[in-house]
Amino acid sequence: MNPYKTREGGATVTIFVPYDCNNNCPFCINKQEYADTSTFSLDAICESIRTMDEITPYCDFVFTGGEPLANLHSLQKMLDCIPTTHKVYINTTFPVQRCHSAAEMLEFVEKNKDKITCINISRHLVKYVEESADEIIARIPTRKRVNCVLYKSYPAEQLPAFVDRFRYYSIPIQFRYDYTETTPENLYEEEGDPILQDLRRLFTYRGLDGCRMRNGFHFEYKGHHMTYHKTLPYSTIVETDENGVTYDILYDILIKQTGEIHSDWTGVPLDVEAYRKVVFEPYDLRLIDGEIDY
């Protein structure tokens, strides 16, 4: 195994909450992991959060699932393990569900708004889940963003109306490529990317930022900011530096539903003791073209 390297501040830590959503989105790659919940452990997850905080006290945390808002009591426990030195993101559908009403979810966010950096709400051109009203999403009292997967043969002509729907509430949108299809060869490819061609045709392209692992093509429509995000389906890059040392460069670390810590999305366990000696490098995310702050 190679020694670890990561960016200043540490790799992003994604936490898989130990409870499922009620949905079956066709592009979901997490669903099968929730089929057998017998080894899931909230306590083990909390322990792993504390371990990662100890090693990288300024890394970002992302809650995903499953559905983070499907059990507010457990989410509170996990959030309470994360000191405020970290940025915290929550990926959610802001679900319509029996266990917690919209009012309860909004109250929860209000109570934790100093701990939560941004809530990313999944909304797609094709509806796969029962959606809470846009007026409710607009009332979320933290930063928020809509994440929209443009999956297979999506109805491209509906894109402007989709943008208008969230532009009305000034909620930025991140369009996403089905990342199981991304490769190092097509990550930055423009001509052969039909989504990029659709977005260029319908909106105004403004700029591109990116790194070895992921990128964002930035667009504007009637003053509204949108990003088209592409990322590789794994999160480790093996590279040899100028001194001949080969490193595993980590971009994402995962805390699984069992509390087990992985160094990649591909099922590789993290050597926690080796990560305590991780070497840091400047984050290679940079502006590549045009402008992205507007």
Smallest separation, CB 118 to ligand SF4 (Å): 17
Closest approach of ligand SF4 to the CB of residue 20, in Å? 7
Nearer to ligand SF4 (CB atom), residue 28 or residue 55: 28
Smallest distance, ligand SF4 to C-beta of residue 93, A:
5
Q: Which is nearer to ligand SF4, 24 or 38 (CB)?
A: 24
How far are the Cα atoms of 54, 56, 92 from residue 47, in angstroms, in the given order?
11, 14, 23
**18 or 65: CB nearest ligand SF4:** 65
Distance CA 160, CA 202 (A): 7
The C-alpha atoms of residue 283 and residue 113 are separated, in whole angstroms, by 27
Closest separation in Å from C-beta 31 to ligand SF4:
5
State which residue, 68 or 207, has the beta carbon closest to ligand SF4. Answer: 68
What are the residues binding ligand SF4 (CB under 6 A)? 21, 23-25, 28, 30-31, 65-66, 93, 129
Give 8 or 130: the residue with its C-beta nearer to ligand SF4: 130
Shortest separation between residue 27's beta carbon and ligand SF4, angstroms: 7
CB-wise, 56 or 120, nearer to ligand SF4?
120
Counted residue by residue, the chain has a size of 294
- For residue 66, the minimal CB distance to ligand SF4 (Å) is 6
Closest approach of ligand SF4 to the CB of residue 128, in Å: 6
Nearer Cβ to ligand SF4 (208/255): 255
